Amino acid sequence: MRTRPARLQKGDTIGIIAPSSPPKLENLHRSLSFIENLGLKIKMGKHVEQVNGYLAGTDDERLADLHDMLKDPDVKAIICAGGGYGAARYADRIDYQLMAEQPKILWGYSDITFLHTTIGQFANIVTFHGPMLASDVGKDSFHDLSARMFNQLFEPSELHYSEEVSPLTTLVGGVSQGELVGGNLSLLVSALGTKYEIDTRGKLLLIEDVGEEPYRVDGMLNQLRLAGKFADAAGIVIGDFSKPESTKRKVTLTLEEVFQYYFNDLSIPVVSGFKIGHCQPHFAVPLGVEARLDGHAKTLTILPGVE
């Protein structure tokens, strides 16, 4: 059982960091009023606005911002400005003992998947897969449901996803429960063969991605299959897979056909269509808590992520 961080209270301070690529600053600044309207104060990471090519500052600077927020007793939650690439570059230097001793809310997705996995496995705390400030909150497309998902940080609440949120497709029926883990497919695959690779044994595996052609998704799913990650899992939760703007290959398979190939013969429940990922609305979920996937009823029930 992972440690749940303490719930937020009105007046608490949240730390904002850019663990990966440089966020679009206009969107980031626009998002701050949303945080303030939640009744929260803001502490901006010292290096959030740094640009080092495709990275938000050096690895040392991004890691320093993360550690600063962990060490500051006034900071109760850490919300990521955006994703992109780069969190894995310093994953082996994160002070996981510090995180375990002072568990705080960490909220983000996409490239933050690498942090979700490592923090879950080495600090044993619950983290949150949810929309980020510059990537989502600061855009005109930010959905009301996405905004309401932040409420789970203030009051422990069971989340219930059904077809009232979006149409769902059952690839394999059945009912299973286990710890919800996972996130961005390409990031999960990038950790295979390292000590940071995801543990799916008895767990519900969430996968999502953006802009990947079917043959690329096929290759990544095959890597997970060969690594035994599907055989060990209790169930598969397929989030949003936004299609690429253009398909380079004239002859292709659909994403649905790719999913069917890898999942139809499994003996565990597999359901697709969840609006979890690079999408609006974005249904934010805690990772590392018990969840129940019902392939017959097409529902996903998730226990609270905060104490």
Look up the CATH superfamily of 159-302. LD-carboxypeptidase A C-terminal domain-like (3.50.30.60)
CA 215 to chain centre: 23
278 has catalytic annotation: yes
Rounded average pLDDT over 85-89? 98
141 is catalytic: no
Q: State the span(s) of the chain assigned CATH 3.50.30.60.
A: 159-302
- Write out the residue limits of the CATH 3.40.50.10740 domain(s) in the chain: 13-153
> How many Å apart are CA 303 and CA 274, to the nearest integer?
17
What CA–CA distance (Å, rounded) separates 102 from 119? Answer: 12
Average pLDDT over residues 188-208: 98
Measured N-to-C along each axis, helices 255-263 and 214-226 cross at an angle, to the nearest 10 degrees, of 10
Residue 208 falls in the annotated catalytic set: yes
| Catalytically annotated residue among 20, 110, 176, 272 | 110
- Distance between CA 279 and CA 36 in Å, rounded? 24
Exactly one of 47, 116, 129, 278 is catalytic; which is it?
Answer: 278
pLDDT in tens, 30-82: 999 999 999 999 999 999 999 999 999 999 999 999 999 999 999 999 999 99
CATH 3.40.50.10740 fits 13-153, yes or no: yes
For the entire predicted model, the pTM comes to 0.96
Mean pLDDT of 16-23: 98
What is the enclosing helix (H) or strand (E) of 188? helix 185-190
Do 179 and 217 meet the contact criterion of CB atoms below 8 Å apart?
no
| Tokens at 205, concatenated | 């595996």
